[in-house]
Structure 1
Amino acid sequence: MRKIKYKKGRKVQPSVLEYTGIHKQIKTEMQLFVYDAEELTEFKEVSRTQFEKCIAPGKVNWLNIHGLNDIELVKSVGDYLKVDNFMLSDILNTTKRTKLDEYHDILFFNIKSLLPVENSDTISVEQISFLLKNGILVSFQEKRSDFFTHIRERIRTHSGIVRDKKADYLLYLLLDAVMENFYITIENEEDRVEEIINLSKASTQPEILEQIEKHRDNFNFLKRSIIPLRDSLYSIKSMKDDNVFNAIEHENYSFFSRLHQKCLELLEQIEYDMDSLDSASNFFFSTQNHKMNEVMKTLTVVSVFFMPLTFIVGIYGMNFDHMPELHWPYGYFMILGLMFLLLLGMIYYFKKKKWY
C-alpha cells in the first residue's frame, strides 16, 4: 500500500515544480466542458496552446487534466489562472495531505481518493486537486479513471440541476464523487473484517491476528485521510460567515455542509469498525487463553490421577526385606486392584464435581 507520508514526505521547494507520484509513464491529456443551461460544448482533446481559446467567459468551464507528467502544461494552466507556484507545487507533490486554500479569488482543494485493490488487502491512493476561479474549474488527476463518468453524462444529458448551476456546484459534485470511493473502500474493509471475525470464532491460527492488525492499519489510514478532509470542508463554513470569498454562491454552501456531514458519518463508521476489530482481537486472545486453560486443566487432572498411584508404586519400590505384603501370594494382584479402584474412585469424584 502506498501510504501518505504526512510528516516524512519528500520535500520539494515551491519554486521547483516536480511531480512526485508513481504514475510517471502516463501521458498528460486535457478535456474541456463549456456549458450553461442552453448550450454545451465538449472538447475531448485540448492542447496546451488551445485551451485558452476554448474557454468561454460567462459559462461554466470544466478543464479536466489526466496525468501530471507534463510540467509545462500544468504551469501554463497556472499562468492562465494566475496561480502561485506553491499551489502548483501542492498539485504535483502527492505526499501532501488533504487541504483547502483560499488565495485572493482562487479556491484550491486537494483531496486523496482511496479505493481497495482487487483481491488484496491494500488500498490504492490517488491525489486529485481542484482550482476554482471565475467560473473556471480545473481538476487534476494522476491517471485516467471513471470517478466522474456519471457527472459527465449528467452534463451531456442535462440531467438534474448541474447545467443550471455554476462551477461551485460542479466542484461539489466532483468532491462528492471522490467521497463515494471512501464508502466503497470502507464497505470492502467491513466485508473482509466480517470474514475475519467469523474465522476467528472457528480457528485460533496466528495468521488471523496478523489479518486483524493489517485491517486495523487500513482503518487508521482511512481515518488519517478523512480527518483533514473534514477540517477542510468545515473551513468552507468560515468563508460563508466571513462573506468575503465569492467563488461559492451563498445558496450552495449547504451542499458542502452535506459533504462535511458525510465525513462525520464516515469517521463514526470507522470508529465502529475499529471497535469490531478490537472485539475480534480480544475474542481471539480469549479463545487462545481458554484453549490453553483447557489443556492445562486436562494435564492437571491426568497428573492428579497418577499421583497416588505413583505414591503406592514408590512405597513398594523401596525393596525393604520386612514388608509383609511382599510375601503374600496374591499381594501383587491386590495392590493392582487397589490402584484400579482408587483410579475409578477419583474419576467418579472429579466427574461429579464437573472438574472435567
Structure 2
Amino acid sequence: MRKIKYKKGRKVQPTILEYTGSHKSTKTEMQLFVYDTNELTEYAEFKTDQLYRCFDNSKINWLNIHGLNDIEIIKSIGDHLNVDNFMLGDILNTTKRTKLDEYHDVLFFNIKSLLPIENSDNINVEQISFLLKNGILVSFQEKRSDFFVHIRERMRTHSGIVRDKKADYLLYLLLDAVMENFYITIENEEDRVEDLINLSKTSTNPKILEQIEKHRDNYNFLKRSIIPLRDSLYSIKSMKDDNVFNAIEPDNYSFFDRLHQKSLELLEQIEYDMTTLDSASSFYFSTQSHKMNEIMKTLTVVSVFFMPLTFIVGVYGMNFENMPELKWEYGYFMILGFMFLLLLGMIYYFKRKNWY
C-alpha cells in the first residue's frame, strides 16, 4: 500500500511558476460570483479578459478556479490583484504545508483537503488556496469538486447571511467547508479501525498488523495536516486586537475563532483514535500470544502423556538376561495393558485439573 506523506517536490525557483501537483491533465476553468445583499451575478465560464469588465469594486467578488495547469491564467489573476510571485508559487507548489500570510494587503491562506478514497485505505489529498483583497476572494482548487456547492446555493437563494457579509466571511465559510472533509476522513478511519479491533480479537492473520500500521500512518498524516492549520487559525485569533490582518473585519474574527476550536477538536479526536488503534495492536498481540500458549500447552500435555510410556519401553529395551517377565507367556500383553491404563489414568487426571 502506498505510504501517505507530503511529497518531496523538486525545488522551484521563486521567479519560476510551475504546478507541482498530480492533476496535470485538469483543464483550468473559472466561475465568478459578483454579489451584494440585493443582487447576484454569476459568470459560469469566466475568462481572464473579463477581469476588468466584470469585477465590481462596490460589491463582493468571488472567483473560483478549478485546475492549476494554465500558468498564464494564474499570472493574470496575480497581476490584477498585485500579488507577489512567492504567493503564486505557494499556490502552485502543492508540497507546501498549510500557511497563512499577508503581504501588500493581500491575505494568502492555503489548506489541505483530505478525503478517503473509496474501497481503499489511502487518503486523497488536494491543496486549496485563497487570496483575499479589497472585497475580492479568489479560491484555487486543483480539480473540480463539490466542496462549495451548498455555499453557491445559499448565495443564489439568498439564504443565511453570506450575501450580507463581506468577503472575509465568505473565506470563513469556504474554510469551514474544507474542514468538514477532515471529519468525514476521521469518521471513515474510525469505522475501519473498529472493524480491525473486532478482527484482531479473533484472527492472527499478519495482514491485520499491516492494516493497523497503515491506519496509524493515516492518523499521523492527518495530524501533520491539521497542526499547521491550527497554528494559522491561532494567528488570526491571537492578532485580532492588533488589526494585523487588514483583510479581516473586527466583527468577523469570532468566526475564525470557531475554526480554531474545530481544529483543536479534530486533534483531540485523532489522539483518542490513535489510542484506540493501540488497543487494536494490543488485541492482536494478545491473541497471538494466547494462541502460542495454547499450542505450547497442547505440545507439553502430549509430551507428558508419553514420558512414562517411553520410560517403560526404555526399561524393557535394556536386554538384561535376568528379566523373568520377558519369558512369561503373557508378559507382552500385560505391559501393553498396563501402559494403556496408565495413559487413560493420566488423561483423566489432567482433565479433572483442567490442564487441557
TM-score bin, normalised by smaller chain = over 0.9
Shift of 1:36: 0.7
Between 184-193 and 303-312, the greater mean CA deviation after superposition: 184-193
1:307 Cα offset (Å) = 0.4
Kept in 2, the 8 Å contact 1:20–1:93? The answer is yes
Q: Which amino acid aligns with 2:76?
A: S
Secondary structure of 1:126 counterpart: strand
SS of the residue corresponding to residue 9 of structure 1 reads coil
Question: Kindly tell me: are residues 351 and 29 of structure 1, through their superposed partners in 2, closer, same or farther at Cα, counting changes over 3 Å?
Answer: same
Contact 1:4 1:97 in 2 (8 A): no
Quick one: structure 1 residues 241 and 2, their matched pair in 2 at CA, closer, same or farther if it must change by over 3 Å?
farther
Output aligned runs, 1:1-356, within 5 Å: 3-5=4-6, 8-356=8-356
Offset of residue 3 of structure 1: 4.1
Code of the aligned partner of 2:172: Y
Distance 1:224 1:214 in 2: 15
1:29: Cα distance to partner?
1.2
Q: Distance in 1 between matches of 2:131 and 2:28?
A: 17
Counterpart AA for 2:338: L
The alignment partner of 1:140 has SS state of strand
Question: Alpha-carbon deviation of 1:353?
Answer: 2.3
**2:35·2:59 contact (CA, 8 Å) conserved in 1?**
yes
Residue by residue over 1:315-345, the C-alpha shift from the partner in whole angstroms, topping out at 9 and shown as x without a partner, is 1011111111112222112212221222222
Structure 2 counterpart SS, 1:128 = strand
- Deviation, structure 1 residue 203: 1.6
CA distance in 2: counterparts of 1:111 and 1:213, whole angstroms: 26
The unaligned stretches of length 5 or more in structure 2 are none
Q: TM-score, normalised by structure 2?
A: 0.97
Cα distance change of structure 1 residues 156 and 94 upon mapping to structure 2, 3 Å threshold: same
Q: How far did 1:2 drift? A: 8.0
Cα deviation for residue 119 of structure 1 reads 1.3
Point out where structure 1 has 5 or more consecutive residues left out of the alignment: none
How many Å separate the matches in 2 of 1:240 and 1:269?
Answer: 27
Question: Structure 2 CA distance, aligned partners of 1:162 and 1:333?
Answer: 99
Aligned-residue CA RMSD in angstroms?
Answer: 1.3
2 and 23 in structure 1: CA distance in 2 versus 1, 3 angstrom threshold: farther
3-state SS, counterpart of residue 232 of structure 1: helix
Q: Distance in 2 between matches of 1:135 and 1:4?
A: 36
Question: How many percent of aligned residue pairs carry the same amino acid?
Answer: 82
User: What SS does structure 2 have at the residue aligned with 1:125?
Assistant: strand
